[in-house]
Amino acid sequence: MAHVQTGRTRDPKKGLTEPAPVRWLLTAVALGFLFLFLAVPLVAVFTEAFRLGWSAYLTAVAEPDAMAALKLTLTAAAIAVPANLIFGVAAAWAIGKFQFRGKQLLITLIDLPFAVSPVISGMVFILLFGRQGYLGNWLMDNDIRVVFAIPGIVLATIFVSFPFVAREIIPVMEATGSQEEEAARVLGAGGLQTFFRVTLPNIKWGLLYGVILCNARAMGEFGAVSVVSGHIRGVTNTLPLHVEILYNEYQFQAAFAVASILAFLALVTLVLKTIVEYRTRRSMEPVHGN
Amino acid sequence: MARVKRSTVLPGFRLTLGFTIFYLCLIVLVPLMTLPARTAAMGWSAIWQTISDPRVVASYKLSVGAALMAACVNAVFGLIVAWVLARYQFPGKRVVDAFIDLPFALPTAVAGITLTTLYAPNGWLGAPLDKYGIKVAFTPLGITIALVFIGLPFVVRTLQPVIEDLDVEIEEAATSLGASRSYVLTRIILPYLYPAWLTGFALAFARAVGEYGSVVFISGNMPMRTEIAPLLIITKLEQYDYAGATAIAVVMLLISFTLLLTVNALQGWSSRKLAH
């Protein structure tokens, strides 16, 4: 009885699953596909990076332009992630705890950056701040550089990583409802106290999940940043752009050495993501009573 | 109902909603509005002239065609992968499950140079294929492979939870009434999965149409043959042809938004269907 109820991992019962040869065939096809499309490329990144040995690897990674690119990537992410985190929490509070007209439209608009090609995401900032852009003359007169400078890169990064935190915690806020918060308020808790003591513990895993995805996108973005960067070595190059420059200069080993840093970050992201998913599932289980 | 809820004791509605709308306008809506604004200033004939240019038409055909092919490949293999992960047990399953999201986590530029190196005529996979006369790098086939890579998680991740939540009792009932396994699969389970399957397909397709980073290295960028639409936008921008870039971009946005609306409609269908 309990056996049927626990769901997730069922024993393959006769007649309720495919015959063994079919199961083996499907598993082999699935694993073969994943091996070819995921495992082989991942192994290739590190193989190419270490092709000329450790010292060549370290030289490529420690080179000043690579370090400058790493610094810019971290800077852009350090601005974009907190900005989108604050936005995500504010949006989820408004959408999850209150009823108002146009809510569904707001949710759709928040997802908008996902529907836009990365190249177009970068391009809109050129149309706005570029030399022939709407604010171009004003910026020139005041000697402010946005496009082909760091502010443009930060703006493009914020744009492409915009929805991640919000779309992870809006459903959690909606699902938990507002009774707990209302109880806290009635018992005399202040607004911020209610948020930090009641709401935050409920949404923390969703929040963390959103931050992990947001950060991965912010550090890895290529298309949008490429359009606004102008590719000035050591100044407006992020790590992914530096990879491109090295590759186009036929410095393949150096390109893959820098790429391996990004691949390593991707692996860290996957591990963190899996841990958070596991914790979320566990914290959800007692509540998930339907 | 809305009236009752408004008398809630919770604070911060005006503040958070105000900030949300302000930030949304500042980062997303105002920048995106530059596209229709530029287009309106251009006039219809100028737009038509840009987007009917054979080179632009060829790039649209390539971007949409390769994205469609890649989404089809992902639909077939994504279904198999999702089924295997949701229903079967095998050693290392958790690791495999975690790795599905690699294309989301790996920067597109890294994927691009890696796939190009792998499928180049002297690469690990390119060399054996080259013996049979199959060229992958710098051809539409290479573009499709890059798009399969970046679209891979969409179908798997939309189908997997739906398969996990399938009610076994339906299968048990059908089997005990004498239905064969293949009948159960094709007539009972598959129709149930259609909405999620189509959603995953549309998401993978939408992502692939606008993709740039993973494609630009493997495509070779030959005008009329392997030049994708996003690259053409960049080329126009570099020539300060903002009007041309805008016209190409607006058509791409229309394609993306149509797909997004389709996904929304499908999700509505899906939730109605799953609600019994």
Does A5 share its domain with A90?
no
Number of domains present in the structure of chain A: 2
User: Does the CB of B114 have a partner CB in chain A at under 8 Å?
Assistant: yes
Does A238 share its domain with A157?
yes
Q: B109 pLDDT exceeds 90?
A: yes
The Cα B77–Cα B74 span in angstroms is: 5
Q: A91 pLDDT exceeds 80?
A: yes
- At residue A8 the predicted structure's pLDDT band, cuts being 50, 70 and 90, is very low
Contacts of A38 in chain B (CB under 8 A): 99-100, 102-103, 149, 152
- At residue A176 the predicted structure's pLDDT band, cuts being 50, 70 and 90, is confident
- At residue A13 the predicted structure's pLDDT band, cuts being 50, 70 and 90, is low
DSSP symbol at B49: H
Does A80 share its domain with A1?
no
- pLDDT value at position A161? 96
Is A289 part of any domain?
A: no
The Cα B256–Cα A118 span in angstroms is: 12
User: Does the CB of B275 have a partner CB in chain A at under 8 Å?
Assistant: no
Closest approach of B10 to chain A, Cα-based (Å): 6
Q: List the single residue in B with minimal CA-CA distance to A49.
A: B114
Mean pLDDT of B15-39: 94
A259 with B217: Cβ contact below 8 A = no
- pLDDT value at position B122? 92
Does A109 share its domain with A247?
yes
**B123 and B115 Cβ atoms separated by less than 8 Å:** no
A10 with B85: Cβ contact below 8 A = no
Q: B272 pLDDT exceeds 80?
A: no
Is A212 part of any domain?
A: yes
Q: List the single residue in B with minimal CA-CA distance to A191.
A: B11
Q: A178 pLDDT exceeds 70?
A: yes
Domain B54-274 = CATH 1.10.3720.10: yes
Is A273 part of any domain?
A: yes
| Top-confidence residue, A282 or A266 | A266
- Find tokens 């009007």 and name the residue: B243
Closest approach of A202 to chain B, Cα-based (Å): 16
B242 with A33: Cβ contact below 8 A = no
Angle between helices A200-220 and A64-97 (to 10 degrees): 140
Does A130 share its domain with A173?
yes
- pLDDT value at position A131? 84
| Top-confidence residue, A46 or A136 | A46
Is A290 part of any domain?
A: no
Determine what percent of chain B is predicted with pLDDT higher than 70. 96
A33 with B77: Cβ contact below 8 A = yes
A270 with B84: Cβ contact below 8 A = no
Is A116 part of any domain?
A: yes
Residue A233 burial (CB count, 10 A) = 13
Mean pLDDT of A108-113: 90
Sequence ranges of the domains in chain B: 54-274
Give the number of beta-carbon pairs within 8 Å between A and B: 290
Helix H or strand E encompassing A184 = helix A179-186
Q: Which of B38, B59, B102 to mutate to test the interface with A (most CBs of A within 10 A)?
A: B102
**B:239-258 residues touching chain A, CB 8 A cutoff:** 240, 242, 245-246, 249, 252-253, 256-257
pLDDT, tens digit, for every residue of A183-222? 998 898 888 899 999 999 989 999 999 999 999 999 999 9
A127 with B38: Cβ contact below 8 A = yes
Does A89 share its domain with A31?
no
Residue A63 is part of which domain span? 52-284
The Cα B261–Cα B29 span in angstroms is: 18
The Cα B72–Cα B77 span in angstroms is: 9
Contacts of B178 in chain A (CB under 8 A): none
Sign of CA dihedral B13, B14, B15, B17: positive
- At residue B181 the predicted structure's pLDDT band, cuts being 50, 70 and 90, is confident
- At residue B274 the predicted structure's pLDDT band, cuts being 50, 70 and 90, is low
Q: List the single residue in A with minimal CA-CA distance to B16.
A: A90
- pLDDT value at position A273? 94
Does A114 share its domain with A16?
no
Does A192 share its domain with A243?
yes
Does A27 share its domain with A91?
no
User: A120, A11, A19, A61: which is closest to A259 by C-alpha?
Assistant: A61
**B206 and B259 Cβ atoms separated by less than 8 Å:** yes
Facing A159 at nearest CB: one of B31, B210, B259: B31
Mean pLDDT of B94-110: 95
Q: B104 pLDDT exceeds 50?
A: yes
Closest approach of B151 to chain A, Cα-based (Å): 11
Mean pLDDT of B112-123: 95
User: Does the CB of B44 have a partner CB in chain A at under 8 Å?
Assistant: no
In this structure, of A153-167, A261-275, B9-23, B261-275, the range with the lowest mean pLDDT score is: B261-275
Mean pLDDT of B58-73: 96
**B:255-274 residues touching chain A, CB 8 A cutoff:** 256-257, 259-260, 264
- At residue A136 the predicted structure's pLDDT band, cuts being 50, 70 and 90, is confident
Does A25 share its domain with A147?
no
Closest approach of A113 to chain B, Cα-based (Å): 7
Q: List the single residue in A with minimal CA-CA distance to B31.
A: A124
Closest approach of A31 to chain B, Cα-based (Å): 8
Write phi, then psi, for A71 (nearest 5 degrees).
Answer: -60, -45
Does A26 share its domain with A57?
no
Q: Which of A6, A98, A109, A119 to mutate to test the interface with B (most CBs of B within 10 A)?
A: A119
Mean pLDDT, all residues of chain B: 90
